[in-house]
């Protein structure tokens, strides 16, 4: 499943696999390849608002929590 994060508001940091952290702000889009572990977090004063767009559609049974 490929994903995209579309940042609508705030500032964040995204981590994709072993790559360096990438800073995000409103209007930024990150493409996440299928099977790539990812993590996103807010780093600014304003709430981070983003869309996670999945292709094909997200299925909860496919989610694996890497933090657990």
Structural domain span for residue 8: 1-23+36-41
What pLDDT, in 10s, does the model give residues 6-18?
999 999 999 999 8
At 61 the pLDDT is 78
Q: Is residue 17 part of a domain?
A: yes
Measure the CA–CA gap between 4 and 31, rounded to whole angstroms: 5
At 66 the pLDDT is 75
What pLDDT, in 10s, does the model give residues 29-67?
999 988 889 999 999 999 999 999 988 877 777 777 877
Domain count, the chain: 1
At 56 the pLDDT is 82
At 11 the pLDDT is 97
Q: Is residue 60 part of a domain?
A: no
Measure the CA–CA gap between 45 and 65, rounded to whole angstroms: 26
Q: Is residue 50 part of a domain?
A: no
Structure tokens at 38: 């990812």
Measure the CA–CA gap between 26 and 41, rounded to whole angstroms: 14
Task: Report the candidate in 47, 37, 34, 33 with the shortest Cα–Cα distance to residue 15.
Answer: 37
């Amino acid at each position: 499943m490929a994903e995209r994060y579309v940042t609508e508001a705030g500032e964040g940091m995204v981590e994709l696999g072993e790559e360096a952290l990438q800073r995000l702000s409103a209007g930024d889009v990150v493409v996440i390849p299928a099977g790539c572990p990812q993590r996103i977090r807010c780093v600014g004063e304003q709430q981070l608002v983003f869309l996670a767009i999945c292709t094909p559609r997200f299925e909860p049974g496919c989610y694996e929590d890497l933090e657990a």
